Amino acid sequence: MTTTPPAAPAPFGARLRRAMDTYGPLCVGIDPHPSLLADWGLGDDVAGLTAFTRASVDALAGHVASVKPQSAFFERFGSRGVAVLEGAVAELRDAGTLVIMDAKRGDIGSTMTAYAQTYLSPGAPLFSDALTVSPYLGYGSLAPAVQLARESGSGLFVLALTSNPEGAEVQHAVRPDGRTVGATMLAHLARDNEGAAPMGSFGAVVGATLGDLSSYDLGIGGPLLAPGIGAQGATAADLPKVFGPAAHLVVPNVSRGVLRHGPDVAALRGAAERFADEIRAAVA
C-alpha cells in the first residue's frame, strides 16, 4: 500500500500576497502595552491581558491580511502571558489571518535553531506564519531560520532600516565595499527571494517614517514590513513617497492607531477597515 505524502505548504510570500490582494496590505499590531490596558479600563495583569487579547482577536481575525503580536508584552507576564499568546496565534491562524510574530530573535548556531523551532516549526505552540529577526550577528547567523522557514512555508522579516533613531548608527554605517549595512541586508534578502513568485517569503523591516529611501534598492522581491503609520507620525499618503516603485511590496503596520479605539470590538474592526482602505488607495 502506498501513501501520498502531504502537500508542501504554500510559501509565506504567496499566501501573504493573496491576503494583501483580498483584504488590503494592512498589518495590525497587537501590543498590550500597560498604557493601552489602562486606556481600556483593564488591569495590568493576566486578566487584563486576556481581555485585551480576546477583543483584539475577535475584531481582527478574518478581517485583515495579517496581525503582528508583540511577544514582549505577553512574555512579561511569564508562562500565563505566553499561554494567552499561544491561544491568540492559534485562533488567528484558524481564521485564516496570517500571524507575524514580532519577537526580533537573533543568535548563532544551535540557539538560533531553537528560536526558529519555537516559531517556525509546524506543531510548535507558537507556530506563526512569519517571524521578525535581527541579523546583527551577521546575516549568515540567520541560516537556521531561513532553512526552517523554507521547509515549513513560513517567512522572516529581517531588521534592515528601522525607524528608531538609534538604528542609524548600525544600519547606516558604511562597509569597506561602500554599501551601508542596511543595504547589505536588503541585498541578502533579494538573493534569498530569487525566483519566488508572486512574492518571496523573506522580507525586510523598513520604517515608514524614514522619508526618501530612493538611495536604497528596496526591490527585494519580498515584503517590506513598515511600522510607523498612525501614532508614530507617518500616514498612508506617505507610502508612495517613501517606498517609490516598491510600494506594492509594503505591509504597513498600525498598532496604537487601531488599538486606541478599544475595547469595543466593532470600533476596533472599523478602525482597521478605515486604515486598510486608506492604505489600499494610497498604494494602488
- Residues with a catalytic annotation lie at 104
Local structure of 259: helix, strand or coil: helix
| Identity of the residue numbered 29 | G
Only one residue has cell 544551535, namely 110
Rounded-to-integer distance, Cα 192 and Cα 88, Å: 30
User: Residues near 6 by Cβ (< 8 Å), separated by ≥ 6?
Assistant: none
Q: Which three cell numbers stand for residue 279?
A: 492604505
User: 123: how many CB neighbours lie within 10 A of its CB?
Assistant: 6
With cell 500576497, the residue in question is 17
What is the pairing mode between strands 155-161 and 202-206? parallel
- Alpha-carbon gap, residue 234 to 213, rounded angstroms: 14
51 vs 40: CA distance, rounded Å:
10
Determine contact, residues 217/186, Cβ cutoff 8 Å.
yes
Sign of CA dihedral 241, 246, 247, 249: negative
Which position has the grid cell 496570517?
98
**DSSP alpha helix (H) spans, the chain:** 12-23, 34-39, 46-60, 72-75, 79-94, 109-120, 143-152, 168-171, 181-192, 239-243, 256-259, 265-283
